[in-house]
Amino acid sequence: MSRNVYSSASFRERWAAAWRSFRVATWLGWQIESNWTDPFLFAVYSMVKPLASAAILVVMYGVITNGQFQHPIFPYIYLGNAFYIYVGAVMTGVSWAVIDDREHYRTLKYIYVAPIRIPAYWLGRGVARFLTGSFAVLITLAAGVLFLHVPFHPARVNWPLFLLSLTLGVVMLALMGLVLASISLMIAHHFFLIGEAVAGALYLLSGAIFPLEVLPPWLRPLGFAMPITYWLELIRRSLLGDVARGFPTLSGFTNGQLLGILAGLSVLFGLMAAVAFRLCDRQAREKGLIDQTTNY
Amino acid sequence: MSADLAIETHHLGRIYTIRNRRERRIRKEIVALQDVNLEVPRGELFGLLGPNGAGKTTLIKILTTLLAPTTGWARVAGYDVVREPQKIRPRINMVSGGETSGYGLLTVRENLWMFAQFYGLPSREANRRIEDLLRRIGLADRIHTKSSDLSTGLRQKMNIVRGFLTDPEILFLDEPTLGLDVNAARDVRQFIREWMDAHPDRTVLLTTHYMVEADELCDRVAIISQGRVLACDSPEALKRRLRREALFDIEITAPNGLTAAALEALPGVRKAVLSDADGGALLKLVLAEDSALPGVIGVLTERAVRVRHLTKREPTLEDVFVELVGRPLAEEEGRDEP
Ligand SMILES: Nc1ncnc2c1ncn2[C@@H]1O[C@H](COP(=O)(O)OP(=O)(O)O)[C@@H](O)[C@H]1O
Ligand SMILES: [Mg+2]
């Protein structure tokens, strides 16, 4: 009886710690992300970056296909690229706090000795990047619809499917970010952009800008193992409807099956994140990496 | 294992393994701590005195759950540092001197408020404490300054306030006055002392390589060198060990090839340390009794070394350190003691 009371109290305590870690980290992340002396410059920068990378893609597409912007593969690519912004933003947002706190602010050890839940803190630090990332996605979509005839009709969008997929996908990306954050604990040096680097490597493996069939056969299984592949497919289907089914890769799966796969892979990444954090946390404490800065 | 102990270590040791960058098989082992056994009761201001590289920071890192020991065990607030860090963390806090940490884009208040939030302190209470502590340490007028605009010394004061802000049961201060000027260091020492007086049930473990700091501030001091604790007692008791002996400081002209070893070979000379001084040298002697002095003077005269000034003095912790380790505590350190 008394044991029960104790464990429920410690359970509540843990959630309280996780919640305040997340909340305060979100506040801090936003302070850092929005730390532009000129808000106007901040807004311009947030717009220019995604638009520039979309423009590069569009020009390349135009050159390669001789300007076939009416072909159904164009919205496929355009949407894949736009939503792929989330991959880099969320994974980097969650994982880069480790190195930022350790190398730049020199606060990682103080955060570590505080009674918080470190993974919840990292997730919170990622929220700001998620928000600026959302802004970038929106801008890119708007540009596509307004200037490039990407077919988008609010009445035809499957909103419930879209919102469900988006949420599930962001959670999945955050969990992948946690895996990278744990790994960052172990790498002492200034590998700031682990999130962007992994995002870049997976760009070609996740069907963002071409179907997996284009990949050499030995690389394809990797694409099928990536939850991002299923997530992008769901996003396209929810926004474009039938257009997306014109592509062979995942056309055999129903929406429900895709959601199931995405949820399953997310759970898997959740478990991986938990295991990775435990292992890396222990290793970092054994090797004394928590406050080791590059110029040690 | 007693409930009254804030800190307890048992044969605690730490070895760092350094791998060669190119050839990972080549390893070097550095013994940073060795067989450390300490018991610090609650309510004590405990000092760890030792030169650079003695292992002080390593010990603090182990006790604050940042670093695992390689041998032995340690308990803080009764909990094991390796197995129960989550139990320890709400009860402790930590400050390292000589570094500029903090979020430069936040103000002093925001930095401190944020850390208070991590400990679940209600905002109103946090702000009350922040104002109070900043006033006590002499930083109240900077509360709205961005911390990147603070000088290193003021930033360190902010960092020290961060440690006290959460009212920890056990507070670890790693060289809190390192790099501070004389006045700021005095402010900080006074701040620590006053806080301890106001919170008699709190425990502070402080490391330092300033002898005066340990002497002035601490209830008990452990003297640490090369990873080993050589003695542990109150500053008074440590010095009392030497009181039976006679301590002389002799300012001399150039030593003309005289060595400390030659002097130590004389009957009744326990320890002799020679160091350069303006236009001559300073000879510090620990003698078994006063009657050994004429022998030393005799040797000086033989070498045509003249005595400029001779004082007999009370032992300091520095003498205790020299007696235990065989060399002065921090002859290379730049900062003058106040
Ligand atoms: N991360 C590390 N890797 C390798 N050696 C280390 C590391 N940290 C400290 N040392 C070594 O361990 C010894 C003790 O260091 P430290 O605990 O920092 O001493 P102190 O704080 O008393 O100056 C020194 O010889 C130091 O060079
Ligand atoms: Mg140190």
**What stretches of chain B adopt beta strand conformation (E)?**
5-19, 27-41, 45-49, 71-76, 79-80, 92-96, 170-174, 203-208, 220-225, 228-233, 246-252, 269-277, 280-287, 307-313
b/e code B307-323 from CB counts within 10 Å (16+ = b):
eeeeeeeebbbbbbbbb
CA dist A112 and A166 (Å) reads 32
Residue B337: the pLDDT is: 40
Average pLDDT over residues A170-193: 86
CA dist B94 and A68 (Å) reads 63
Q: How many CA atoms lie within 13 A of A186 on its CB side?
A: 12
CA-wise closest residue to A288 among B331, B260, B324, B18? B18
CA dist A24 and A30 (Å) reads 10
- Tell me which of A211-215, A224-228, B132-136, B200-204 is least confident: A211-215
Report pLDDT digits (tens) over B85-112.
Answer: 999 999 999 999 988 899 999 999 999 9
- What's the one-letter identity of residue B145? T
pLDDT at residue B1 greater than cutoff 60 = no
pLDDT at residue A288 greater than cutoff 80 = yes
Residue A188: the pLDDT is: 64
Q: Which residue has the tokens 């990278």?
A: A180
Average pLDDT over residues A230-245: 84
Residue A148: the pLDDT is: 87
pLDDT at residue B335 greater than cutoff 50 = no
- Tell me which of A64-73, A104-113, A267-276, B291-300 is least confident: A64-73
pLDDT at residue A5 greater than cutoff 80 = no
Residue B192: the pLDDT is: 96
Average pLDDT over residues A12-33: 94
Note whether B218 and B206 are within 8 A (CB): yes
Q: Ligand 1, residues B20, B34, B57, B210: which to mutate, most atoms within 8 A of Cβ?
A: B57
Residue A191: the pLDDT is: 64
Separation of A81 CA from ligand 1 center, angstroms? Answer: 48
Domains, chain B, with CATH or none:
5-239 (3.40.50.300), 244-313 (3.30.70.1340)
Q: Where are the alpha helices (DSSP H) in A34-117?
A: 39-65, 73-99, 108-113
Q: How many CA atoms lie within 13 A of B251 on its CB side?
A: 7
Residue A190: the pLDDT is: 60
The residue contributing the CA closest to ligand 1 atom 14 is B55
Residue B89 to residue A115, Cβ atoms within 8 A: yes
| B205 min Cα distance to partner chain A (Å) | 16
pLDDT at residue A223 greater than cutoff 60 = yes
**3 state DSSP class of B233:** strand
Residues 6+ apart with CB under 8 A from A123: A22, A25, A94, A174, A177, A178
Note whether B242 and B216 are within 8 A (CB): no
Residue B89 to residue A35, Cβ atoms within 8 A: no
Report pLDDT digits (tens) over B36-55.
Answer: 999 999 999 999 999 999 99
Residue B336: the pLDDT is: 40
Mean pLDDT of the residues in chain B? 91
Element (H, E) at B317: helix B317-325
pLDDT at residue A32 greater than cutoff 80 = yes
Residue B329 near ligand 1, beta carbon < 6 Å: no
Residue A106 to residue B100, Cβ atoms within 8 A: yes
Does A30 or A2 have the greater pLDDT score? A30
CA dist B235 and B215 (Å) reads 6
Sheet containing B5-19: order of strands: B27-41, B5-19, B71-76, B79-80
Q: What is the distance, to the nearest Å, from the Cα of residue B3 to the centroid of all Cα atoms in its chain?
A: 26
Residue B66 near ligand 1, beta carbon < 6 Å: no
Note whether A93 and A128 are within 8 A (CB): yes
pLDDT at residue A168 greater than cutoff 80 = yes
Report pLDDT digits (tens) over A244-274.
Answer: 555 677 888 899 999 999 999 999 999 999 9
Confidence of residue A295 (pLDDT cuts 50, 70, 90): low
Does B131 or B333 have the greater pLDDT score? B131
- Tell me which of A81-85, A210-214, B245-249 is least confident: A210-214
Residue B109: the pLDDT is: 98
Percent of chain A with pLDDT over 90: 54
Residue A35 to residue B105, Cβ atoms within 8 A: yes
CA dist A11 and A117 (Å) reads 13
Residue A294: the pLDDT is: 65
CA-wise closest residue to B202 among B245, B179, B169? B169
Within 8 A of A285 by CB-CB distance, chain B residues are 65-68
- Domain regions of chain A by residue span: 2-287
Residues 6+ apart with CB under 8 A from A150: A74, A75, A78, A79, A141, A144
CA dist B29 and B49 (Å) reads 24
Q: Which residue of B has its CA nearest to A288?
A: B67
CA-wise closest residue to B225 among B48, B64, B98, B97? B48
pTM: 0.88
- The CA angle A185-A188-A189, to the nearest 5 degrees, is 125
Average pLDDT over residues B57-76: 97
Confidence of residue B332 (pLDDT cuts 50, 70, 90): very low
Beta-sheet pairing, B246-252 with B228-233: unpaired
Residue A2: the pLDDT is: 41
The residue contributing the CA closest to ligand 1 atom 2 is B16
pLDDT at residue A23 greater than cutoff 70 = yes
Residues 6+ apart with CB under 8 A from B247: B284, B285, B286, B287, B312, B313, B314, B315, B319
Within 8 A of A23 by CB-CB distance, chain B residues are 117
CA dist B136 and B44 (Å) reads 21
Residue B334: the pLDDT is: 42
